Amino acid sequence: MKVFFDHNIPRKLRRLLKGHYVSIALEMNWTTLRNGDLLRAAEDAGYDVMVTADQDLSYQQNLSGRRLALVVLDTNNWNILQHNSAPIVSAVEASSPGSFQFVTVDQAGE
């Protein structure tokens, strides 16, 4: 699966998504793109899933008719994510075109 990380996702998270092709905004020279423009660019580039911590994005953008799935994390804190990656991996792998998943990461084990 081709996965795109928004500006606010720690790049280290990519190593936890084994078997997936993962790119980040900086690598794509998309650091100035925001919200709808970023979704369009990722979709046009053939990404299957966009991972973000921008919790407002799902309310600001209409995902119906999109080929891109959106996975929204409740935190972008690497110390929390690195120890609680299972729900993130599951959400990415279960995503389908135009879907939206909000992932709550267990922060108690931080």
pLDDT of residue 20: 95
Distance CA 39, CA 56 (A): 13
pLDDT of residue 60: 58
pLDDT of residue 55: 80
pLDDT of residue 35: 80
pTM over 0.85: yes
Distance CA 17, CA 9 (A): 13
Strand order in the sheet with 21-24: 21-24, 2-5, 49-52, 69-73, 100-103
Query: Mean pLDDT by 10-residue block, N- to C-terminus, for the chain (110 residues)?
Result: 95 93 93 87 95 76 78 94 93 93 77
Q: How far is CA 38 from CA 19, 50, 86, 104, 106, in A?
A: 24, 9, 26, 23, 28
pLDDT of residue 39: 87
pLDDT of residue 102: 93
Q: What are phi and psi of 93, to 5 degrees?
A: -70, -25
